[in-house]
Structure 1
């Protein structure tokens, strides 16, 4: 799926596990530059 996120930036809080982790991985797969925090 192409969500048009290539080159975009995202901050994901609570990304150490669960939904936050899944969201961070999905954003990265779509080409976003992801900053994660626990």
Structure 2
């Protein structure tokens, strides 16, 4: 099990800068 199994990530500001980068990284690793 991974560290984030069973967890929910709420990413705000995903349209720009750090929020967008975070969303893309999580999606890249198939976490969302």
Tell me if both proteins adopt one fold, taking TM over 0.5 as the criterion: yes
**Which structure shows the higher strand fraction?**
1
Q: TM-score, normalised by structure 2?
A: 0.63
* Runs of 4+ off more than 4 Å: none
In the alignment, structure 2 segments of 5+ residues that lack a partner are none
**Which structure shows the higher helix fraction?**
2
In the alignment, structure 1 segments of 5+ residues that lack a partner are 34-38
Q: How many residues align?
A: 29
Bigger radius of gyration? 2
Q: TM-score, normalised by structure 1?
A: 0.56
